[in-house]
């Protein structure tokens, strides 16, 4: 028993120097038992008090740790909610902008058709048609931009390569559509307009 007591007292000094509350608690509990066994109740009470102190300190630290973990968890949830709200707001704003751009493109093409109906200079129609189709195809590239970044994982040289391929495919189609539109508005539409005016004139003459 004496050897055990001396060993535990040495362990207690080591625990104090190591400032390890778990080690201190366990050694104090064993020293309390040893001193009770040798009927040294004064020292037994001392180490029992230390054991209770270390145990309470460890429980308090555990509660603080739990509270800290809860606070960290709540903070992470708040951050996630804020990010989700921000992403939702960004999506809504982008959708509104896309809708506005779509409306603007549709308006440009409506104006282009009206220019063909009325006697507007072919040069003006060609210039507006050029910008209308540039607007349209750039919007198509913009819509594909997010998918391009996902496909290329954001690597600049891959993004450049994909966009070059897309533009090389769209550019001839752009010129073909532009020519078709210009020809239709400057040749077909005037003929349709003239035929309609002629029919109206003939109808008026019969009446």
pLDDT in tens, 47-77: 788 888 878 888 888 888 878 888 888 888 8
Torsion angle of C-alpha atoms 25, 31, 34, 38, degrees rounded to 10: -140
What is the pLDDT at residue 76?
87
What is the pLDDT at residue 134?
87
Q: Are 8 and 28 in contact (CB under 8 A)?
A: no
What is the pLDDT at residue 111?
87
Q: Are 181 and 129 in contact (CB under 8 A)?
A: yes
What is d(CA 6, CA 39) in angstroms, rounded to the nearest whole number?
16
Task: Copy the structure tokens of residue 149.
Answer: 């970044």
Task: Copy the structure tokens of residue 160.
Answer: 């450049």
Task: Copy the structure tokens of residue 108.
Answer: 């440009």
Share of the chain above pLDDT 90, in %: 5
What is d(CA 77, CA 97) in angstroms, rounded to the nearest whole number?
30
In the predicted model, residues of the chain with pLDDT beneath 70 are 1-19, 188-207
What is d(CA 189, CA 207) in angstroms, rounded to the nearest whole number?
27
HSE (side-chain half, CA atoms, 13 Å) at 197: 8
Q: Locate tokens 């001193």: which residue?
A: 35
What is the pLDDT at residue 60?
84
What is the pLDDT at residue 99?
92
Give, for 181, the enclosing helix (H) or strand (E). helix 156-183
């Amino acid at each position: 028993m004496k050897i055990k007591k001396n060993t535990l007292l040495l362990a207690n000094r080591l625990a104090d120097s190591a400032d390890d509350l778990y080690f201190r608690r366990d050694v104090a509990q064993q020293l309390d038992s040893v001193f009770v066994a040798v009927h040294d109740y004064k020292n037994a009470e001392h180490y029992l008090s230390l054991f209770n102190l270390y145990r309470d300190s460890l429980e308090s630290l555990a509660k603080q740790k739990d509270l800290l973990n809860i606070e960290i968890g709540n903070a992470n949830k708040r951050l996630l909610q804020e990010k989700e709200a921000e992403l939702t707001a960004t999506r809504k704003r982008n959708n509104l902008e896309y809708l506005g751009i779509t409306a603007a493109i549709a308006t440009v093409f409506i104006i282009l058709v009206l220019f063909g109906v009325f006697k507007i200079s072919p040069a003006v129609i060609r210039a507006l048609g050029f910008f209308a189709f540039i607007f349209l195809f750039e919007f198509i590239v913009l819509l594909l931009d997010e998918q391009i970044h996902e496909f290329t994982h954001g690597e600049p040289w891959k993004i450049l390569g994909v966009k070059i391929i897309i533009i090389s495919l769209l550019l001839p189609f752009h010129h073909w559509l532009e020519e078709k539109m210009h020809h239709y508005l400057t040749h077909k539409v005037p003929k349709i307009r003239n035929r309609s005016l002629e029919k109206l004139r003939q109808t008026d003459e019969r009446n």
